[in-house]
Structure 1
Amino acid sequence: MNTTALAPSVATPASTPATQYDAVVIGAGVAGLYHLHRLREMGMTVRAYDAASGVGGTWYWNRYPGARFDSQAEIYQYWFSEELYKSWQPSERFPAQPETERWLNYVADKLDLKKDIQFNTRIASAHYDEAQNRWNITTSQGEHIQAQFLIACCGMLSAPLSDRFPGQANFKGQIYHTGLWPKTPVDFKGKRVAVIGTGATGIQVIQTIAPEVGSLKIFVRTPQYVIPMKNPKYSAEDWAQWGAQFHQLKKRVRETFAGFDFDFDAGPWADKTPAERTAVLEKLWEDGSLALWLASFPEMFFDEQVSEEVSQFVRGKMRERLQHDPDLCKLLIPTDYGFGTHRVPLENKYLEVYLQPNVETVDCKQTPIERIVPEGIQTADGQVHEVDIIVMAVGFDASSGALSRIDIRGRDGRSLKDQWSKEIRTAMGLQVHGYPNLFTTGAPLAPSAALCNMTTCLQQQVDWISDCIAHARQQGKTVVEATQAFEDAWVEHHDETAAKTLVVKTDSWYMGSNVDGKPRRLLSYIGGVGNYHAKCDELARTGYPGFDMR
């Protein structure tokens, strides 16, 4: 989770003494922890800042009921230490949030990182001083920091859309945003509960609280294709077997399309009979992972006919579980976009929740939410849905939002927020031209923005950035900045690659469609993780062309 969400801009008093560092890292999640470790290893003075009271990033803030990741535990890992990998044993294939938060604390303690992290601190502004080639950074408390390098590990989904509807402050009950969930458990027992949103997060909440609520109203706008999760427990023997494959897995995840240990290995769609295609889909469906999405047929991302056939396969599976109820099928099974062009959630008996007698659905396409009133949620037909608790699973200003909420100003006083409000651009998601010595992970136009097993892509970016900084220091250079020409070329390549897919023809947070006024561009590079890594490796091998070092 980034340290910047909702952070106010703070003016820096000229008299405030500045604390000096070689580098400042924003965020203490998966990327921030590793970046702190790498930069310390390089002998740099570095401090990380996070708004949370502890480490974990996403896994600190997203502690809502049912929160768990959907990358298998054996690949949602750090790869820089075989000993670290083997010494932590996950309890199951897809661990829940509390276990993941414990794991990240284990990593931080093992590497003694917490002494160099300042918690409960948001970064409010960062202005580049061209005379000194340093960043002037202020916190929301007014602390003044200077650093040569500013490293943004703010998170891809860490700018929650919390103030979503008019009248929220007037609600007499409790409102909880899934991305800002309290540490104190919420009591749902016997309560009238509304859940707004049925994306991956909303699905996890719905399936988890359904057995204990008194009644549940689910506000559905965009239905999702879903895959049933298979989540076996892991024994010590199981983990020893995974540990024995550490080096193979480390290499494998770096080369595949989405940074997982599976890839599109089924062969061309056109070479198979209908029966053979169905057999592939059935096998991957039974795996209970994201393999059906990311390891079946890549043609479904490009070819509308293939997309429709794969989509029909998933629709049929969902229809059976909804007992062919025509109203529920119409509301909950997507027909206006193809499988895989949105984020695909894994779930556990989610669809069966809608068959419970105490569950009611509200079609937000037919009757959109107009406002929150003291008694509950008012829809466009004038009806007030009275509830005690509202759970807002309404998402984030993805990828770009965390940085846009900081007052970041580069050369000549240019504002990153203003630039990205017109057009979202980066140089491979690693830098932005005009902002010297600002490096980013999980930023737009890299696979890490959305289309990747996050630990794979975030670590790769941390390693590349650290190596780039080390190269500059060895060359006696103090400034690293992506050139305009390099950034232009990357944006052109990114857009050409995206335009070949069906993803850009859909409305989703992948395209920024969930945020009013956000410039439309696929936020994540869709050319494949392996391809992206190869391009990054080539840049490093050839002396970082496209990055001006001075």
Structure 2
Amino acid sequence: MPTGSLASRRRTGLHRKAGTVKTPSSPGKGPAEVDVVVVGAGIAGLYALHKFREQGLTVRVFEVADGVGGVWYWNRYPGARCDVESVDYSYSFDEDLQQEWNWSEKYATQPEILAYLEHVADRFDLRRDIEFGTRVTDIVLDEPTLRWQVGTDTGRAVSARFVVLATGPLSNANTPAIPGLDTFAGRVLHTSHWPHDGVDLAGQRVGVIGTGSSGIQTIPCLAEEVARLHVFQRTPNYSVPAGNTPLTEEQRQAQKANYAERRRLSMASGGGSPHQPHPKLAVEATDEERREAYQRRWELGGVLFSKTFPDQLLTREANDTARLFWEEKVRAVIDDPRVADILIPRDHPIGTKRICTDTNYYQTFNRDNVELVDLRATPITAIDADGVHTTETHYRLDTLVLATGFDAMTGSVSRMNIVGRGGVTLNETWADGPKTYLGLGIPGFPNLFNLTGPGSPSVLANMVLHSELHVDWVAEAIGFLDDRGAVALEARPDAVAAWVRECADRAAGTLMLEANSWYLGANIEGKPRVFMPFVGGFGVYGQIIAEVAAAGYKGFDVLEA
């Protein structure tokens, strides 16, 4: 397969909007030409490296962090925990790995998940092909050769046949543009960049801005440590207790013995977990059946409460049955009804924003040292050296915690200068919202694949199994090209347009558009309002992309040598 000479690559000019990409002869460890460049060494990137290397391909991974783990490397805030059961939030590709690793809890904490991913990296000798502390800045197509020229902030440059973006949908932290934030004299912490050696906040006055998943997990932990905690809430969220418990050896052995069936059910499910929805619709079930079903999911804990009944996110009538059950549970643990009124959402159906998973979150507001500040009633006007001003008062703080989430789905990709055919950048292509075919291919960007991002189930599914599904599909696609001596796969514009319409139509058939959520990019000022995930279910999506591959990659142009 032609790769093009170094001289010919230099003659093409390697279009960049500002500056140029260094040629692949730049100094640095590792080869200057590889089959695949993978961006990111999180869950998807680690498996991609292993899978492609097992396929006989040369692979180079670039990772901005100093270690593996992706989101689990960075998010070390107190209380950080997965909202998918540990046994399911794990790789399925290696049976020995499944059998040898022992999870300690039903829902693993950040340190345990990171230890697991470090174990995977060591077990499969992955680190030798990863360049840590290296941010990819440029990914530029050399059209005559259809190779990608990848540049980094360290000066390293690599030429690759394929580029796989494994940057993750939740990896670009969102810092709000609050007037005066940079003048605060105390310490500012972001939950997604928590100091690795921890922070001693004992005796301090602490403010937390944000009550999404990271805020809801960290607030109870902070409340137990600090002298005074002010929780600044603009938008209340639905959260369900994790019901977390240690796993016994008997439970672990039973899970391992049943792994094959767990994985089968998970791959065919709506969200990548083995738990199936109730066989009846919520509107068809009796009051007793509904209550029993909701109670079982409440005891299971976490995000799957939104999938108790198959119609729960389809109609308001069905959704209200879940909402009323949830509200009854939450009001029962909050002492002050006025505080409960502020904490209970009224602006979106339950589950249309990702349901959070907590440990004693609502009970925390019964503490004497915790104050809930309703920003809808008294918005923040500015931050000064001493603390936070609202329209009502000034809060003196020693430390300010930003639990303000991410520029989700597209944020990390948009930070790179990705240039395709005709010098058109990916940011230009996605100016009105992301446009993909199957969430994998982008027209004008041959052999560039984006994993677990817009146009796929993404954050609506178990990200470990989703990553495996995508990587396996890309690996098979590369094998398909190599078997027939072809050069590239490129998504066709008509297939992209049809997929974008299908994703939009599926979302419009649910309640998901009734929430002003980060699924739509609503938390980022100026971001196009497009519902980004595929809502048809993880199992359905897997069937669709398998059928596309079986049909000779229908919707893609197969570019011959």
TM-score (norm 2): 0.94
Is 1:97 the counterpart of 2:106 in the alignment?
no
Contact 2:44–2:451 (8 Å) recurs in 1: yes
* Corresponding residue of 2:527: 518
Is 1:319 the counterpart of 2:331 in the alignment?
yes
* Corresponding residue of 1:328: 339
Q: Which amino acid aligns with 2:326?
A: V
Is 1:409 the counterpart of 2:419 in the alignment?
yes
* Corresponding residue of 2:436: 426
Q: Distance in 1 between matches of 2:124 and 2:18?
A: 33
* Corresponding residue of 2:272: 259
Contact 1:9–1:124 (8 Å) recurs in 2: no
Contact 2:24–2:149 (8 Å) recurs in 1: no
Is 1:42 the counterpart of 2:55 in the alignment?
yes
Q: 1:107 to 1:15 in 2, by over 3 A?
A: closer
CA deviation after TM superposition for structure 1 residue 482, in Å: 0.7
Is 1:136 the counterpart of 2:149 in the alignment?
yes
* Corresponding residue of 2:199: 186
CA deviation after TM superposition for structure 1 residue 171, in Å: 1.2
Q: Distance in 2 between matches of 1:480 and 1:241?
A: 43
Q: Secondary structure at the match of 1:488?
A: helix
Q: Deviations over 1:124-158 (max 9, x none)?
A: 11111101211111111222211111100001100
Q: 1:288 to 1:9 in 2, by over 3 A?
A: farther
CA deviation after TM superposition for structure 1 residue 352, in Å: 1.1
* Corresponding residue of 1:5: none
CA deviation after TM superposition for structure 1 residue 163, in Å: 5.3
1:185-264 correspondence to structure 2 within 5 Å: 185-264=198-277
Query: Cα RMSD between the aligned structures?
Result: 1.6
Q: Distance in 1 between matches of 2:36 and 2:382?
A: 44
Q: Which amino acid aligns with 2:401?
A: V
Q: Distance in 2 between matches of 1:283 and 1:12?
A: 56
Is 1:498 the counterpart of 2:510 in the alignment?
no
Moved more, 370-379 or 96-105: 370-379
1:6-25 correspondence to structure 2 within 5 Å: 11-13=20-22, 17=26, 19-25=32-38
Q: 1:15 to 1:544 in 2, by over 3 A?
A: closer
Q: Deviations over 1:60-81 (max 9, x none)?
A: 0001111010110111111111
Q: Secondary structure at the match of 2:352?
A: coil
Q: Distance in 2 between matches of 1:285 and 1:426?
A: 36
Q: Deviations over 1:461-488 (max 9, x none)?
A: 1111111111111111111111111111
CA deviation after TM superposition for structure 1 residue 17, in Å: 3.6
Q: Which amino acid aligns with 1:398?
A: A
Contact 1:10–1:139 (8 Å) recurs in 2: no
Identity of paired residues, percent? 37
Q: Distance in 1 between matches of 2:193 and 2:548?
A: 38
1:99-138 correspondence to structure 2 within 5 Å: 99-138=112-151
* Corresponding residue of 2:478: 469
Q: Distance in 1 between matches of 2:87 and 2:19?
A: 42
Q: Distance in 2 between matches of 1:421 and 1:174?
A: 36
Q: Which amino acid aligns with 2:155?
A: G
* Corresponding residue of 1:337: 348
Q: Distance in 2 between matches of 1:10 and 1:41?
A: 36
Q: 1:404 to 1:248 in 2, by over 3 A?
A: same
Q: 1:97 to 1:70 in 2, by over 3 A?
A: same
CA deviation after TM superposition for structure 1 residue 238, in Å: 2.0
Contact 1:480–1:548 (8 Å) recurs in 2: yes
CA deviation after TM superposition for structure 1 residue 291, in Å: 3.2
Is 1:373 the counterpart of 2:384 in the alignment?
yes
Q: Distance in 2 between matches of 1:145 and 1:39?
A: 17
Contact 1:12–1:142 (8 Å) recurs in 2: no
* Corresponding residue of 2:449: 439
Contact 2:349–2:514 (8 Å) recurs in 1: no
Q: 1:14 to 1:138 in 2, by over 3 A?
A: closer
Q: Distance in 1 between matches of 2:291 and 2:265?
A: 26
Q: Deviations over 1:150-188 (max 9, x none)?
A: 100001100111353232222111111111111121011
Q: Secondary structure at the match of 1:370?
A: strand
**Residue in structure 2 matching 1:173, options 186, 197, 207:** 186
Q: Deviations over 1:216-266 (max 9, x none)?
A: 000001111111111121133321211111211121110001111112133
**Residue in structure 2 matching 1:86, options 71, 87, 99:** 99
* Corresponding residue of 1:394: 404
CA deviation after TM superposition for structure 1 residue 356, in Å: 0.9
Q: Distance in 2 between matches of 1:47 and 1:345?
A: 35
* Corresponding residue of 2:516: 507
Which ranges in structure 2 are unaligned for 5 or more consecutive residues? 1-16
Which ranges in structure 1 are unaligned for 5 or more consecutive residues? 1-7
Q: Distance in 2 between matches of 1:361 and 1:236?
A: 41
Q: Distance in 2 between matches of 1:350 and 1:71?
A: 18
Q: Which amino acid aligns with 2:115?
A: R
**Residue in structure 2 matching 1:276, options 281, 284, 289:** 289
Q: Distance in 1 between matches of 2:246 and 2:18?
A: 46
Q: 1:299 to 1:9 in 2, by over 3 A?
A: farther
Alignment length, in residue pairs? 539
* Corresponding residue of 1:65: 78
Q: Secondary structure at the match of 2:268?
A: coil
Q: Distance in 1 between matches of 2:431 and 2:370?
A: 40
* Corresponding residue of 2:545: 536
* Corresponding residue of 2:316: 304
Q: Distance in 2 between matches of 1:238 and 1:9?
A: 56
* Corresponding residue of 2:359: 348
Q: Deviations over 1:416-455 (max 9, x none)?
A: 112323222111111111111100112101002x100111
Q: Secondary structure at the match of 2:400?
A: strand
